[in-house]
Each structure stands twice: as C-alpha cells, then as structure tokens.
Amino acid sequence: MSLAEQDIDKLCELARLEIDADEIGDVAKKLSDIVDMVSQLSAVPTDGVEPMAHPLDRPQRLRDDVVTETNLRELYQRNAPAVERGLYLVPKVIE
C-alpha cells in the first residue's frame, strides 16, 4: 500500500500538521514503508480473537464525584504563550 502526496495532505489536515513541500515526497515514501511493514498483520488469522486495548484486564476504577483539585489557574497560565485577564489568547474564531 503506497501513500500518495495527496494522502499526506489529507492526513496533515486531520492531524493539524504541515509538511514542507520539498519534504512531502520523502514523508510519503517513509510512511508507505511503515504501512507496508504493518500490513503483514492482515495475513494473521484472528477470527474470534478479542481485541486487546490494554494490558490490565480489569474495569476502570471509579471514585466519588467530589472536588479534589483547587483552582491554580494563575500558576498554570504562566506556561501559556499569550494570556490576558486570565484568558488564553487565540486567533479570532467568531466573525
């Protein structure tokens, strides 16, 4: 299975990434090699085998629905690229 440059464009759209135009051919080739490598799984008979999502074969633990964290917004916002009056600044979203 070989991925074309248009496939990479579509994946970049889905993954919110950009690949430079001069690198896209190389990326397509390397991704195709990886897809080829993982495609050998398709030959393995797995009828009736349960998919394994996780090594722990037990249900998720539940906890009481109570507040355990305090508000540390100011501390956390020290890592934000742009903040104003406690709000994160992003490009204009609403026209």
Partner 1 sequence: MHDSTIAQLAEALRARRISAVELTRHFLDRIARHDPALNAFITVTEDEALRAAEAADRRLASGDASALTGIPIAHKDIFCTEGVKTSCGSRMLDNFVSPYDATAVERLKAAGMVMLGKTNMDEFAMGSSNETSWYGPVKNPWDTTRVPGGSSGGSAAAVAARLAPAATGTDTGGSIRQPAALSGVTGIKPTYGRVSRYGMVAFASSLDQAGVFAATAEDAALVLEAMAGFDPRDSTSLDEPVPPYAAEIETPWERLKIGVPKNFFDEGLDPAYAEAVRAALAEIEKLGADLVTLDLEYLHLSVPTYYVVAPAEASSNLARFDGVRYGYRSPGAEQLDLVTFYKRNRAEGFGAEVKRRILIGTYVLSAGYYDAYYLKAQRVRKLISEDFARAFREVDLLAGPTTPTPAFGLGQKTNDPIQMYLNDIYTIGANLAGLPAMSIPCGFVDNLPVGLQLIGPPLAESRLLKTAHYFQKATDWHRRVPPGYE
CA 6 to chain centroid, in Å, comes to: 20
The residue from 63, 65, 84, 85 that contacts partner 1 (CB under 8 A) is 63
Confirm or reject binding of residue 91 to partner 1 (CB under 8 A): yes
Give residue 13's region: left, alpha or beta (phi > 0; psi -120 to 50): alpha
Residues 6+ apart with CB under 8 A from 27: 8, 19
Task: Work out whether 44 is an interface residue with partner 1 (CB under 8 A).
Answer: yes
Q: Residues interacting with partner 1, by CB under 8 A? A: 3, 7-8, 11-12, 14-19, 27, 30-31, 33-35, 37-42, 44, 46, 49-56, 60-61, 63, 72, 75-76, 78-82, 88-91, 93
